[in-house]
């Protein structure tokens, strides 16, 4: 992957939320490169910072949240621009156009007062991609692509006249309407039933293959990760603790949290008596644990884990882990 073109590079990103209870240190120095044309999966428990990271990309962090520090370099017209420094009118041009989102709840993503066709066409018109007539025709085409039956009449329907699965197909059509370079799908199938979930994921994969769109898939569902992604990042308490090609994450997870996550979900290829939950609970990020944020729950914690944050180490090409177990190993090898 290293010779592939980087489309987005998140560097040293910190995001805090200033609540009445205190400052929530939600994102704690995240570094991540996403390659053009890949499907990158971001996985972790609820509240680990996956969605906040994805929303920070186009500065969609609502108050009381604040991006404190970092760079988000996006390749635009063969040059990298820092999305955190672009003027507001420029970032608006990119949002919904070159970088688009599919959020988990189609009901709140859609405006109940407008037809599905209007909402799809409007995205193209606002970004000067088409005039209304042409945009309306393309809206019908998009509904066809997203396998909505009878697209010519569905385009005139309001969101309340459709099922949850159909509404999510409308949201997908809106997200794809301007042929985005990067599609961010944040738990896109959480609110639909399992059969529709499989259909929607097949659809996204197919569209990605056809158009070569880069996808950042946010999920806590390891099955979707296995099925959909090329590479995976595992987040814990605002830190990106492991990044690896998808096969390696399942075959050879390194970080104790990744191992715990995999042991806690059923694996159809392995016969196990019972699932093993990760002990303890997700920390309160107003008072995050010192050093490695996983240390209060980690069965391998050492004194250094409480004191210092582990560095990121590349164990194999493209397989990175933030854990003192490996940092100490590498140090010993270097000394011998
Ligand atoms: Fe466990 Fe220490 Fe590694 Fe953190 S750095 S995961 S506490 S061994």
pLDDT digits (tens, 9 = 90+) for 148-166: 889 999 999 999 999 888 8
Cα distances (Å, whole numbers) of residue 107 to 8, 46, 153, 163, 254:
29, 21, 20, 10, 39
Which one-letter DSSP state was computed for residue 155?
Answer: T
Confidence of residue 269 (pLDDT cuts 50, 70, 90): low
305 Cβ inside 6 Å of ligand 1: yes
Q: Is the CB of 308 under 6 A from ligand 1?
A: no
Whether 300 lines ligand 1, by a CB cut-off of 6 Å, is: yes
pLDDT in tens, 281-299: 889 999 999 999 999 999 9
Question: CA dist 74 to 14, 42, 56, 283, Å?
Answer: 17, 18, 13, 32
Own/partner contacts of 300-306, CB < 8 Å, gap of 24 or more, are 300/256, 300/325, 302/328, 304/328
Tell me how far the alpha carbon of residue 67 lies from the centroid of ligand 1, in angstroms: 27
Check pocket membership of 83 for ligand 1, CB cut-off 6 A: no
Please give the full DSSP string across 210-228, using - where no structure is assigned.
HH--EEEEEES-HHHHHHH
Confidence grade of residue 1 (pLDDT, cut at 50, 70, 90): very low
In whole angstroms, what is the distance from residue 197 CA to residue 312 CA? 34
User: Residue written as tokens 């994102």?
Assistant: 27
What does the alpha-carbon distance between residue 287 and residue 220 come to, in Å, rounded to a whole number? Answer: 24
The whole-model pTM stands at 0.93
Choice among 6-20, 55-69, 88-102, 105-119 with the minimum mean pLDDT: 105-119
CA of 211 to the centre of ligand 1 (A): 40
Q: Are 40 and 185 in contact (CB under 8 A)?
A: no
Q: What is the pLDDT of residue 163?
A: 87
Least confident segment among 29-33, 121-125, 134-138, 195-199: 195-199
Lowest mean pLDDT among 19-23, 237-241, 276-280, 329-333: 329-333
């Amino acid at each position: 992957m290293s010779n592939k073109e980087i489309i987005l590079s998140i560097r040293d990103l910190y995001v805090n939320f200033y609540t009445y209870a205190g400052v929530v240190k939600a994102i704690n120095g995240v570094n991540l490169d996403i390659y053009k044309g890949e499907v990158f999966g971001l996985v972790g428990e609820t509240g680990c910072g996956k969605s906040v990271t994805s929303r920070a990309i186009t500065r969609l962090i609502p108050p009381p949240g604040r991006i404190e520090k970092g760079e988000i370099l996006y390749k635009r017209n063969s040059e990298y621009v820092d999305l955190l420094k672009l003027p507001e009118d420029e970032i608006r041009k990119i949002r919904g156009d070159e970088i688009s989102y599919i959020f988990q709840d189609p009901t709140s993503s859609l405006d109940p007062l407008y037809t599905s066709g209007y909402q799809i066409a409007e995205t193209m018109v606002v970004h000067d991609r088409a005039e209304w007539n042409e945009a309306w025709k393309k809206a019908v085409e998009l509904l066809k692509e997203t396998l909505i039956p009878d697209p010519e009449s569905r385009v005139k329907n309001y969101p309340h006249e459709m099922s949850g699965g159909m509404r999510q197909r409308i949201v997908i059509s809106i997200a794809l309407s301007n042929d985005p370079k990067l599609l961010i799908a944040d738990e896109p199938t959480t609110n639909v039933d399992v059969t529709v979930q499989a259909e929607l994921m097949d659809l996204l994969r197919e569209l990605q293959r056809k158009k070569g769109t880069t996808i950042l898939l946010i999920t806590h569902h390891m099955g979707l990760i296995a099925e959909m992604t090329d590479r995976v990042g595992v987040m814990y308490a605002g830190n990106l603790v492991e990044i690896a090609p998808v096969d390696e994450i399942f075959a050879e997870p390194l970080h104790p949290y990744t191992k715990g996550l995999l042991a806690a979900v059923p694996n159809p290829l392995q016969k196990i008596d019972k699932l093993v939950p990760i002990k303890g609970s997700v920390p309160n990020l107003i008072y995050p644990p010192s050093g490695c944020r996983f240390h209060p729950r980690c069965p391998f914690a050492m004194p250094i884990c409480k004191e210092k944050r582990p560095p990121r180490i590349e164990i194999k090409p493209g397989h990175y882990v933030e854990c003192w177990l490996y940092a100490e190993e590498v140090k010993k090898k270097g000394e011998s």
